[in-house]
Amino acid sequence: MQRLKIHTSEIAEAAKTLRAGDKILLSGTVYTARDAAHKRIFTMLDNGEKLPFELKNATIYYAGPTPTPPNLPIGACGPTTSSRMDVFAPRLLDLGLKCMIGKGGRSPEVVEAIKRNSAVYLCAIGGAGALAAKCVRSLKVLAFPDLGCESVKELQVEDFPLFTTIDCCGGSLFEVK
């Protein structure tokens, strides 16, 4: 098990070498998107519209940050249950998504898509939204502001603590052997 500092601009290459159990400190650009945003993103894809961010080599964090307090870039921003996005993940991975961050296990279809696309699934610590917020340097709403906390946001993070939970070979911390 390794402890690595990774920048999101290097996630495509890093995903090829990360293994389940590796500890990560992630820095760079991360996009938040939950269920409602994923539905709208799929509608945009189906209609041939430009997405709010480039999917190629992107990192999506399944989170809906709480309102931003005065003098801070973000409120609490803990992970949401990733399996709710399983219906969307394979297509997004096939379109270039390289990293997903959330909590909990993923379906066999998502694991196969991770393997097929040399991607990675990282987990944040559930219940530690205030800790995650300390790693956010800036926040910008990119799309769907009417969704409130579920709008698509661009976060700049620094040393966000994560664990590799499903790697590009299909190794998983969720499988008991």
- Please give the positions annotated as active site: 38
**Alpha-carbon span 70 to 54, nearest angstrom:** 30
Of how many residues is the chain composed? 177
Q: What is the dihedral of CA 161, 166, 172, 174, to 10 degrees?
A: 70
> Residue 32: in which H helix or E strand, if any?
strand 23-32
* Maximum separation of any 2 CA atoms in the chain, in Å: 47
Whether the CB-CB separation of 14 and 162 falls below 8 Å is answered with no
Contacts with 39 (C-beta within 8 Å, 6 or more apart), sequence order: none
